[in-house]
Amino acid sequence: MRLTLMTDYALRLLMYVARNPDRLCTIGEVAAAHAVSEAHLMKVTHKLGLGGWLETVRGKGGGVRLALAPEAVNVGAVVRSVEPDFFLVECLGGGERCKLTGNCRLTGVVNGALHSFLEHLDRYTLADLLQGPPSQVGLSVAIQAPARRRPAPSTRRP
């Protein structure tokens, strides 16, 4: 699974703003700090404002700040509000185009993985992302490819 740039930038923006709680942050300064497009960051800011994650102040001296305390900003909820969809495979999108629909277990397996992914994100708040060293927050399981199964032994006799 790969999150969209919109979600990546949304989380970066929220972390930046949370680290500067005593002032309004401008889109230009956040864009420069993360080397991202101001135009794209404006769209992200708008979406986060509509979602109630950010307060936006227009005009001269305007900018953005968190609408909630960092402890109240759940990472899983932010990702759900920003990602356009979670259709990891075609059948999760509700379309009837897949010829295997109804005869395949892939949907359940992928849906379970997605549920586990979002459940993991739900364990963290924005405050968690700001604590301690900036590396490996919450990393407790190494990701490994599953072991290959050996083919069943042949029952043929020579």
Task: Confirm if 154 and 43 have CB atoms less than 8 A apart.
Answer: no
DSSP 60-96: TT-EEEESS-GGG-BHHHHHHHH-S---SSGGGGT-S
**Does some domain include residue 9?**
yes
* pLDDT, tens digit only, all 158 positions of the chain: 688 999 999 999 999 999 999 999 999 999 999 999 999 999 999 999 999 999 999 989 899 999 999 999 999 999 999 998 877 766 666 656 666 666 677 777 888 889 999 999 999 999 999 986 655 554 444 444 445 555 555 554 44
**Does some domain include residue 138?**
no
Task: Confirm if 12 and 53 have CB atoms less than 8 A apart.
Answer: no
Cβ neighbors of 100 (< 8 A, separation 6 or more) are 91, 106
Tokens of 113: 């993985």
Q: How many domains does the chain have?
A: 1
**Does some domain include residue 31?**
yes
Domain extent, residue 119, equals 5-130
Q: What pTM did the predictor assign?
A: 0.77
The CATH number that applies at residue 88 is 1.10.10.10
**Does some domain include residue 140?**
no
**Does some domain include residue 68?**
yes
